[in-house]
Amino acid sequence: MIQLYIAEKPSLGKGIAQYLPGPHKSGNGHIVCGGGNVVTWARGHIFEQADPEFYTPDDVPLNSKGTKRWRLQDLPIFPEQWIKLPKADARAEIKVIRDLLKQADTVVNAGDPDREGQLLVDEILEEMGWKGPTKRIWLAALDEQSVRKALATLKDNAEYRNLSAAAEARSRADWLVGMNLTRAFTLVNAGSGVLSIGRVQTPTLALIVRRDEAIEQFKAKDFFVPRIQAAKGQTSFWSAWVPVEGAPGLDEESRLTNRSVADTIAAAARSVGKAVVEDFQSREQKQSAPLGFSLSELQKACSAKFGMSAQQVLDCAQALYEEHKAASYPRTDCRYLPEEQFAESGRVLSALAKHPAYGPLVAKADPRLKSAIWDTGKVTAHHAIIPTGEMEGTLGEARQKVYDLIVRSYLAQFYPPYVYRATKIVLVCATQRWQANGKVPVSAGWKAIYALSASEDGDEDDQQGLPVVLKGDELQVVASDVQAKQTKPPKRFTDGTLIEAMSSIHKYVEDPEAKKKLKETSGLGTEATRASMIEKLLKYGFIERRSKALQSTSIGRALVNGLPKVLTDPVTTAQWEEVLSAIADGRVQADIFEQKQQSFVEVLIQVAQKTRINVGAARPASGAGGSGKTPARSKKGKGKGNGQSAAHR
């Protein structure tokens, strides 16, 4: 009896094989283990959707590259039967898997623990006509304990069919929108190069374009902050004027824009010379350690701290998971851990204690502490990214930086809260109110892990050393002044802040109902795709990197400003992601979603024929005038196109 494990990639397959019974014998693209177990692997998706020309009439003329020309009359292209084709560089893997399937009695789907990983192996089985029993191994980490536990708890693969359906629906929607609308807008605007349109990439580009336009159209406004310096004994401190609604010189955001009014307020206070304490509050406050890293949070942190691109961070995190077995599955949107996993924390801490950099930190940790990160009810398909306590091989500089943040985030969960004393003093002087705020560290707590100071999470106006005063105390005013300030434009996006914007897209939506819905359910793209969207926009020349900043090009701006709003509005694609999640949960049928996508495309093709976009010398991309591979089999072939459609996502 042969049980065949089909892993998503070689590293995952080899990681599983080493914990199956021996003896182990390596073969061509597979490993034979004891007990009738055999492990083989793909290399990502080894099948892909056929290109649009596969579905267009046979009499379409060819271009100079020998592929069919793009023609408006062929649009929309809606496959009656979705066709998948083997990838040209995957022939070896396909042959190995096909031969092993002929000998197998049972198959175990060992794709990554997400909807794309589920689809990747399911489509192999479908294309190769496998009808036998199929199980599923769900691996969130590749350390020994996680793998052995997963091997002991194999599930029926049928329990995950909705994940496959959601991934297939996503792939088809990307194809329908990207392939049809890219062709439509490109053909109508001949001479502008390929105008790549994508379900996620176009709204993402719009975020960058709108931010850049806001920066360039920004006009700085002067505003003024009157202050007084009050003293109690030998201790003096500054207090800022508190605006009063209706006061002269205030703008709509309660900023004082009239310098003469500011000077008058400050001078009056100085001339009175006394201030009375109206309110005094001083109390210790606690700040717990931040939750664990989702991929977006990790990308944001590495972008800010190291200037790393989102793709670099993902690549490093993936390597830490696959190659080094040092961290858990990276493509997660969750920042929590299952409570059941708390029992394993002692083992992880003991392993980390052996590392010279982390030993002293582990020594000060309290393994009995159970922070807010441990909450099974808030864990989604995957838990937060954490260290496994294992390490295979040596880390390069970039991977070490990412790993270090993951480790410190985990260790912080076993440290007490950061404690600080927050103080507020409200004074009355010359009939005006003035306020001083202060923050003084009491106990570093988890911040000791990062060597952070109070100023790093406080307001720039926070002061240390505010005196203890009582309500009614009279203080001397020893000085007054007016601080001249200017409003600042928004900052350009970096990889980290763009990833954050994509995952919190509700903040960029004005409609109250849509904002509320998106806050609860959706983002722009997924944890696994956001980094690739940035790279795609760079590839097409729609954006460029300037130091850490991402900035739109003239081509990118022209495209965004020329397209209908429904293609650039983040609400549209975020709502699609919500439906895809519903498909994964079994609440929506995939074919209904596909029908709606077809209707959407039909309407947009009509819009495209009336739209003129002047992008100047747009950057050409491969496939202009009729991209695509020569089909490897008949148009009448059967099969479902579940493969990737990343080019126009």
By annotation, the residues acting in catalysis are 329
Distances (CA, A) of 181 to 274, 279, 405, 563: 70, 62, 41, 11
- Find residue 26's DSSP bridge partners: 31
Going by their DSSP bridges, the two strands 3-7 and 37-41 should be labelled as parallel
Which residue in 273, 329, 77, 351 sits closest to 187, CA to CA? 77
Cβ–Cβ under 8 Å, residues 225 and 485: yes
Going by their DSSP bridges, the two strands 84-86 and 47-49 should be labelled as antiparallel
| Strands (E) located in 15-153 | 25-27, 30-32, 37-41, 47-49, 84-86, 106-110, 134-136
Distances (CA, A) of 279 to 37, 97, 127: 74, 75, 74
Cβ–Cβ under 8 Å, residues 425 and 279: yes
CA distance 142 to 390: 9
Which residue in 178, 185, 183, 180 sits closest to 199, CA to CA? 178
Residues 6+ apart with CB under 8 A from 216: none
- Find residue 232's DSSP bridge partners: 235
Cβ–Cβ under 8 Å, residues 511 and 169: no
H or E element, residue 484: strand 474-486
Identity of the residue numbered 204: T
Cβ–Cβ under 8 Å, residues 506 and 518: yes
């360039």: which residue's tokens? 216
Distances (CA, A) of 268 to 222, 249, 436: 22, 16, 19
- Find residue 215's DSSP bridge partners: none
Residues 6+ apart with CB under 8 A from 264: none
Tokens representing 451 are 């060597």
CA distance 264 to 266: 6
CA distance 356 to 333: 31
CA distance 369 to 376: 16
CA distance 472 to 642: 74
Residue 486: count of CB within 10 angstroms of its CB: 9
